[in-house]
Amino acid sequence: MNLRTDSWGLETSWQLVNTCSGNTVLQGGPYRSDTQISASQVIGQGPHKFVLNDSAENGFSGSGQLTATVDGLEVAQVSGNFKYDEIFFFGSGECGVPVPNIPVPAPAPVNPADSSSSPGTWKQIFFEGFERGRGSAFSRGSLARITRSRVFSGRYAVQITDDRAGSAITSTPMDCSSYKQLQINFQFYADSVDQGEKFFLDYSSSGMSSFRSMYQFTSGQDFQNGEWLFTSLSWDIVGTTRGSVRIRSDFTHSRESITINQITLLAL
């Protein structure tokens, strides 16, 4: 992680959290103003989230910025104005699957990681911004609708409500026989979602059937209402011939919704 504080460094802090255990792996701040900070930590391959906080709720000014990478892959990038926090999800595997338990040392300045050890090149399989309206790369359930009222970028997004069979968007099956990993990146916005309610990212290795939950997002823990958040998630798919991803909600009331935009799927 590389952070350059702005003229109000005392407002800036951050946390790296293991989303399975809820434990804070690494954290830092507040800081001096106009200061360069670097930190590095071995974290294992499980799901994590990185949270950047600004106590004044106005983000960075001037040259203030932050970037974070995992094995050479950028997972967080922030500059300019934002609200109280910016949250980024990343990692592979499932909660409940053992990952290395590595002792956490105190944060300390380190040299940036050697970029020559890049693990490989991700190939973009498709991008979906829902600009074609109903003609998207995702099939939509009866409780997932194209919307123009709230978008991250462009003219359209997709909004998912409730917790029934139609509360999902599902990608058409993809030929994954030559890949080892998939990565999905997307923006999402929660509206009126009660504390503890969840939505899920699912994956099927057999077309559009037999989905299993890969990641879950819990209101009040992983996200708050009323702000756009970015997530980047990856998982192993060795042996898959036809793969499909699904985003579904498990909300109690129809007034609760999650809006999804700018979905990118990559393979390695």
The answer to whether residues 183 and 245 touch, using CB atoms and an 8 Å cutoff, is: no
Instruction: Tell me which of 93 and 48 has the higher pLDDT.
Output: 48
Q: Are residues 60 and 107 located together in one domain of the fold?
A: yes
Q: Are residues 82 and 199 located together in one domain of the fold?
A: no
The answer to whether residues 90 and 50 touch, using CB atoms and an 8 Å cutoff, is: yes
pLDDT at 134: 57
pLDDT at 257: 96
Residue at a domain's end among 65, 98, 117 = 117
Q: Are residues 151 and 90 located together in one domain of the fold?
A: no
pLDDT at 139: 87
The number of C-alpha atoms within 13 Å of 32 and in the hemisphere containing its C-beta is 4
Q: pLDDT tens-digit profile of 50-82?
A: 999 898 888 898 889 999 988 878 888 888 887
- Predicted TM-score of the model (pTM): 0.60
What is the CB neighbour count within 10 angstroms for residue 19?
20
Q: How many domains does the chain have?
A: 2
The number of helices, as runs of H, and strands, as runs of E, in the chain is 0, 20
Q: Are residues 97 and 131 located together in one domain of the fold?
A: no
Q: Are residues 27 and 9 located together in one domain of the fold?
A: yes
Residue at a domain's end among 117, 134, 151 = 117
Residue at a domain's end among 117, 133, 161 = 117
Name residue 177's amino acid.
S
Q: Are residues 258 and 139 located together in one domain of the fold?
A: yes
Q: Are residues 178 and 200 located together in one domain of the fold?
A: yes
Give the integer Cα–Cα distance in Å for 261 and 263. 6
Q: pLDDT tens-digit profile of 1-11?
A: 999 999 988 89
Report the CATH number at residue 176.
2.60.120.260
Q: Are residues 137 and 243 located together in one domain of the fold?
A: yes
| Backbone dihedral angles phi then psi of residue 113, each to the nearest 5 degrees | -60, 150
Q: Are residues 186 and 58 located together in one domain of the fold?
A: no
Of 244, 236, 120, 122, nearest to 175 (Cα)? 244
Beta-sheet strands, E only, within the chain: 2-4, 12-18, 24-28, 36-38, 48-54, 65-70, 73-79, 85-90, 123-128, 138-140, 144-147, 157-161, 168-171, 174-175, 181-191, 198-204, 212-218, 228-236, 242-250, 257-267
Q: pLDDT tens-digit profile of 113-168?
A: 333 334 467 888 888 888 776 556 788 889 999 998 888 888 889 999 988 888 99
Q: Residue range 166-179: average pLDDT? A: 90
Q: Residue 9: give the domain boundaries.
A: 2-117
Q: Are residues 102 and 72 located together in one domain of the fold?
A: yes
Range with the poorest average pLDDT among 19-23, 35-39, 203-207 = 19-23
For residue 16 the two structure tokens come to 């790296």
Q: Are residues 127 and 257 located together in one domain of the fold?
A: yes
